[in-house]
Amino acid sequence: MRKVKKYKKHFEVFLQENEKGKVKHNVLYKGEYYRYDGTKDALGRMKVWYGLLLIGMTGILVAMGLLNNPGSRRLEVTLPYVISFLPLVYAWLGWVRVLRAPERMTYVDYDKGYCRLKRSCVGTAVFGGLILLGEVIFWGIGDGEFSLRGEWLFALGGLLLSLLSLFFLRLQRIFPCISEKKI
């Protein structure tokens, strides 16, 4: 069994001795099972939508990084931008886990797939808003160079990132993951 304490209560480990006298660790899952509510066709569309949204969000962040505007050299703008890559990578890991998840998921699959996507979308939406806020602060300070087109594009990128993340969260409500005990 993995040494992850978070999932310890969902598994039971027992020792079993074989005929040669070797002791073998057996693991039994005793937690709830989860599944996506929908047909296989709808789940396939869901996985494609999730992938397209992640590609779009990643594309927006990369395009924002390619802008050469004065605000992108300020800490209040750059710090949320750089940190926003962390929840996005976390979302990619969750999407891969959702793609590989069995039809009947254990709590580990549920947490590392469905819940990870939810948490990462909230984080990406928050950091997209902080990017927008950093741009507004930079506009308010207004010292030194100022490229109106570049700053507006950067702010628009932060806004689009937040909106796509919120749309992603809305999409997760359309395709809920439910416990099999509630079926």
Query: Is the model's pLDDT at 2 over the cut of 70?
Result: no
Amino acid at 53: L
Instruction: For 123-144, write each residue's pLDDT tens digit.
Output: 999 999 999 998 888 888 876 6
- Is residue 151 within 8 Å of residue 71, measured between CB atoms? yes
**Do residue 1 and residue 91 come from a single domain?**
no
Q: What is the pLDDT of residue 99?
A: 92
Burial of 24 (0-12, 13-18, 19+ CB in 10 A): exposed
**Do residue 116 and residue 132 come from a single domain?**
yes
Instruction: For 140-178, write each residue's pLDDT tens digit.
Output: 887 667 777 888 898 899 999 999 999 999 999 888 888
Which residue shows structure tokens 């797939």?
Answer: 113
Which residue range is the domain that position 1 belongs to?
Answer: 1-31
**Do residue 55 and residue 134 come from a single domain?**
yes
**Do residue 1 and residue 72 come from a single domain?**
no
**Do residue 9 and residue 91 come from a single domain?**
no
Instruction: For 19-65, write each residue's pLDDT tens digit.
Output: 887 888 888 888 889 999 888 899 999 999 999 999 999 999 999 98
**Do residue 22 and residue 39 come from a single domain?**
no
Q: For residue 64, what are the contacts with CB-CB under 8 A and spacing of at least 6? A: 72, 81, 131, 153, 154, 157, 158
**Do residue 5 and residue 64 come from a single domain?**
no
Query: Is the model's pLDDT at 182 over the cut of 80?
Result: no
**Do residue 24 and residue 93 come from a single domain?**
no
Cβ atoms within 10 Å of 72's Cβ, excluding its own: 20
Can you tell me whether residue 140 is helix, strand or coil? helix
Q: Model confidence at 1, in pLDDT bands (50, 70, 90)?
A: very low
Rounded CA gap, 181 and 68, in Å?
Answer: 53
Residue 11 backbone phi and psi in degrees, to 5? -125, 155
**Do residue 48 and residue 136 come from a single domain?**
yes
Q: What is the pLDDT of residue 164?
A: 95
Rounded CA gap, 170 and 172, in Å?
Answer: 5
**Do residue 97 and residue 145 come from a single domain?**
yes
Number of compact structural domains in the chain: 2
**Do residue 70 and residue 27 come from a single domain?**
no
Q: What is the pLDDT of residue 37?
A: 86
Rounded CA gap, 61 and 156, in Å?
Answer: 11
Q: What is the pLDDT of residue 4?
A: 67
**Do residue 111 and residue 148 come from a single domain?**
yes
